[in-house]
Amino acid sequence: MDKNLKKFKLLRNIIAVAFILIILSIIKLQIIEGKKYYRLSDRNRIRQKHIPAPRGKIFDRTGIEIANTRPGFYVSVIQTSIDENTLKKLTHILNIDEKTIKEKFKIQKNPFMSVKIAHDISYKQLSTIEENMDILKGVEVGVEPLRNYPYGELFCHLLGYMGEITHAEMENNGNYSINDYIGRMGLEEYYENHLKGIGGIEYIEVDAFGREVGKIAEKRPTPFIYGKHLYTTIDFALTESVAVYLENYEKAACVALNPQNGEILVLYSKPGFDPNLFVHGLQKKEWQILNNAPDAPLYNRAIMSCYPCGSTFKPFVALAALDSKMITKEKSFTPCRGKYRLGRRIFKCWKTHGKLNLIDAIVYSCDIYFYQLGSFIGIDTMYSRTNKVGFGKKTLIDLPNEKSGSLPNRQWFEKQYGKNWTEGHIFNLSIGQGDLLVTPLQLACAFTIFANNGEIPIPHVKKREKHDYHLTTISKEAIEIVKQGLKGVVSFGTGTLARVENFEVCGKTGTVQNPHGEDHSLFVGYAPSDNPQILVFVFVENAGHGATVAAPIAGKIMKIYLFRESTEHHAKKT
């Protein structure tokens, strides 16, 4: 009997201890760690769904949409729900690398959050996934706003493109998730914070297989906020005309602006690319082909390419000489006989001009005159005056990746060539060759000093009410004298093919020697001379003389704009 009683008591104690342990476990699970397990159960039952915000549209100056948003289908997966078989099926359906998908998994640290692995899928791919949804565990298909560039290559360098955000970019900015796109290049990058909007969140209930059951009523969604629209100064019709005029040339750049306030009308670079290619996410091989192409289609020649500017630099050498009061407009040098000897070296001119004064030397673009003028005023005077008008500096346009070019001074020559650098370097600099490098935008902006009587507006693409200027100390008298030469260039000099009927054009031709092939062709000019409305710079690589290629193209661009503006002005009056 005692034995049975002892067994009973032992069993009772064991049951009591077990019951106490169960009670303690329940207390721990329900009270002490209740919130933790509630969150874990919610993660299995409730899924946060990121709702991307539509990006702001980009408009030209007349209200034409040059970048907007369209709907597209995406595929996303949940790391905790997907298996290897599903992963292999997806790579086959979507034609993407399994390694690429797994790299995206690494970036998304929360395994319960969906990761978009494909954007802008085709209807065929969508149908295949929908048909196999029962066996594709953890896979979602949805609709998202995608960036759209309705005019393809036309504005590619100006606008830039959208790319998937990187891990580093996401860590540096808490306003993005792994599924977001971010602006790259052009206006998309520069005005990213203006255009991007703020994404929303929805809470979705899912079953054990990760399939959506429905929205969670007790959790209120966070609505997305649209990105802001961007209104630009760009002239769609004029840009389209520029593309037509340059269609027979492989590499070119064109800048057109209002010289009075710095509004950019055209910023065009060729060759280009279709920014819509980036919407669905370029594969590594596709990106390498585009990025390593020999003609550099991703490179914005208008603000990034640095070229010698040839004879278009001569008006600035003349301006430096006049502003320093070292010469007058009547100044002449040894007459041009087509050649000029400096020590053992012979410097040539493109033609025999004879005896010229300053204005005639600009009109007929005499190299021999400017060799002597540059040597006469010296490197220090030339550098100090041309640097004031913007050479060797960024223009501060509202676009990323602008280059500053190169304007050599005495110290630069000594560092590059030693203290025994020669007068020949000044000769080359005086005609815009050698070590002088400028971007098309930089030269166009510098030229506004003649169109705007000394004030140089800071160029801008975004519309604004207030315009900013670089104020120079260059004398108005010096500017007026050079302008006489620029009028003569188009009226009866080297730039006659840039003439525009009923409008007086001021400008300068340029031909840049190219050791790798045909010369580059340049022309920069503005009109009308008395009240300039447009300034145009055309640069065509490997096309020959500026007088015969770039000048007539620039003339056509100015003609279209001026006749259209005068017609619209007349229509408003009547």
Residue type, 396: L
114 versus 426: which is more confidently predicted?
Answer: 426
What percent of the chain has pLDDT above 70? 90
48 versus 312: which is more confidently predicted?
Answer: 312
Residue type, 443: L
* Model confidence band, residue 273 (pLDDT cutoffs 50, 70, 90): very high
Greatest mean pLDDT among 49-58, 314-323, 338-347 lies in 314-323
Q: Is the pLDDT of residue 4 over 80?
A: no
pLDDT at position 568, please?
77
When pLDDT is averaged across residues 238-245 and rounded to a whole number, the result is 98
229 versus 167: which is more confidently predicted?
Answer: 229
Cβ(450)–Cβ(475) under 8 Å? Answer: no
**Tens digits of residue pLDDT in 484-532:** 999 999 999 999 999 999 999 999 999 998 877 899 999 999 999 999 9
Phi, psi of 117 (to 5 degrees): -110, -10
pLDDT at position 45, please?
61
Tokens of 465: 């009410």
Largest interatomic CA distance in the chain: 141
When pLDDT is averaged across residues 119-148 and rounded to a whole number, the result is 89
What percent of the chain has pLDDT above 90? 64
pLDDT at position 203, please?
72
Cβ(55)–Cβ(147) under 8 Å? Answer: yes
* Model confidence band, residue 304 (pLDDT cutoffs 50, 70, 90): very high
Residue type, 467: H
pLDDT at position 212, please?
55
Cross-strand partners of 510: 522
pLDDT at position 483, please?
98
pLDDT at position 218, please?
62
Cβ(503)–Cβ(487) under 8 Å? Answer: no
Q: Is the pLDDT of residue 40 over 50?
A: no
When pLDDT is averaged across residues 3-23 and rounded to a whole number, the result is 75
Write the CB contacts of 8 (distance below 8 Å, at least 6 apart in sequence): none
Q: Is the pLDDT of residue 405 over 80?
A: yes
Strands (E), 149-234: 161-164, 181-184, 200-206, 212-215, 230-231
Nearest by Cα to 60 from 261, 238, 256: 238
pLDDT at position 574, please?
65
353 versus 89: which is more confidently predicted?
Answer: 353
pTM of the model: 0.88
Give the three-state DSSP class for 306. Answer: coil
Cα 257 to chain centroid distance, Å, stands at 17
Query: Residues 208, 211, 216, 222: is their CA dihedral positive or negative?
Result: positive
Cβ(397)–Cβ(233) under 8 Å? Answer: no
When pLDDT is averaged across residues 395-401 and rounded to a whole number, the result is 97
Fold designation for 47-230: Penicillin-binding protein 2a (Domain 2) (3.90.1310)
Where is average pLDDT lowest: 19-23, 409-413, 474-478, 551-555? 19-23
Cβ(558)–Cβ(282) under 8 Å? Answer: no
**Tens digits of residue pLDDT in 443-473:** 999 999 999 999 999 999 999 999 999 989 9
330 versus 49: which is more confidently predicted?
Answer: 330
* Model confidence band, residue 354 (pLDDT cutoffs 50, 70, 90): very high
Delimit the domains of the chain by residue range.
47-230, 236-573
Write the CB contacts of 361 (distance below 8 Å, at least 6 apart in sequence): 314, 318, 353, 369, 370, 373, 485
Homologous superfamily, domain 236-573: DD-peptidase/beta-lactamase superfamily (3.40.710.10)
How far apart CA 380 and CA 249 sit, in angstroms, is 38
* Model confidence band, residue 1 (pLDDT cutoffs 50, 70, 90): low
DSSP assignment of 460-502, as one string? BSB--SS--EEE----HHHHHHHHHHHHHHHHTSTTGGG-BTT
